[in-house]
Amino acid sequence: MAKIISIANQKGGVGKTTTAINLAAGLAKAGRTTLVVDIDPQCNATSGLGVEPALRHPLVAGQPIGESIVATTQDRLRVLPGSHSLTDADALSASNRERASSLRRQLNTELSEIDYIFLDCPPSLGQLTRAALAAAHEVYIPIQCEYFAMEGLSQIIELARQSKARDNHRLEIGGIVLTMYDPELELSNEVAAEVRGYFAETVFESLIPRDVHISESPSHGLSVLDYAPRARGARAYTELVMEVIDRE
C-alpha cells in the first residue's frame, strides 16, 4: 500500500509545491515509485513537472485514476494532473468526509503499485486541504524561515489535529520542513531554533536554502535535482529525501 502524504500550509510562497516536486523526484531516484497528485487549482505541481493541466480533474472525471496518470521525463515519477476548472475544484471540496472517503478509496485501491503519493494542497485551510488531510497517512508542513512562520504553523497543525479527531484517526504530522533558510540572516536562525524548540524531532534536520536554481527549475518542467543537481538546493532536498527514507 502506498504511503499517502499531504504537503500542506495555508500560506502561499512557503515552498509547498516545490517540496512536493523535489521530494517525489528524489524518492523516485532512490528507487521508489512516486506519484504527485495535484489538487491545487493553480496546477503548479503539474506544470512544474512538465505536464499540461487536465481539462477535468481526474479525481472527479468518472474514470479510473490509472488512465489519467502521466509519466514524467524521470523514471518512477508520475503525476496525476490538476485542473484549472473551478467546477471541479468545487466538486473536489464538496462534503469533506465523503470526498476524503472517496479519495482514500481511489488512491488505495487503484494505485497499489505506487510507493509514495504526495497530495499537493492549495495555500488555504479550506475544504480541499481538509479533504487531503482526511485522506492521508501523514502531513508534511513546509514553513519559511521568516517572520510570522510560527503563527501559520500553529494553524495548520491545529487543522491536522481536528482532522485526526474527526475524519482520519491514522493521520500523523510526519514532519516540518524549514525552507528559504539563509544562514547569514539572524532571523532565519532564530526561526529555525524556535521551531525546533517547540517541535523537536518532528522537524526535519535538513534545511532548504534560498537558491535561485530551486526557483528556476519549475519553468523548465524539472525538479531542481534534474535541473541543477550540483546546486545547494539539490543537495538539501537530497538530504531531506534520505531523512524520509530513514523514517520508513
- Report pLDDT digits (tens) over 10-42: 998 999 999 999 999 999 999 999 999 999 999
- Give me Rg for the CA atoms of the chain: 17
Say if pTM beats, i.e. exceeds, 0.75: yes
Other CB atoms within 10 Å distance of the CB of residue 97: 13
Residues 6+ apart with CB under 8 A from 183: 189, 209
pLDDT digits (tens, 9 = 90+) for 61-110: 878 888 899 999 999 999 999 999 867 777 776 655 565 666 777 777 66
pLDDT digits (tens, 9 = 90+) for 106-132: 777 667 789 999 999 999 888 889 889
Report the distance separating Cα 68 and Cα 30, nearest Å. 24
pLDDT of residue 181: 97
State in words which class domain 3-246 has: alpha beta
Match 534560498 to its residue by C-alpha cell: 210
Which residues on neighbouring strands pair with residue 36, listed in sequence order? 79, 118
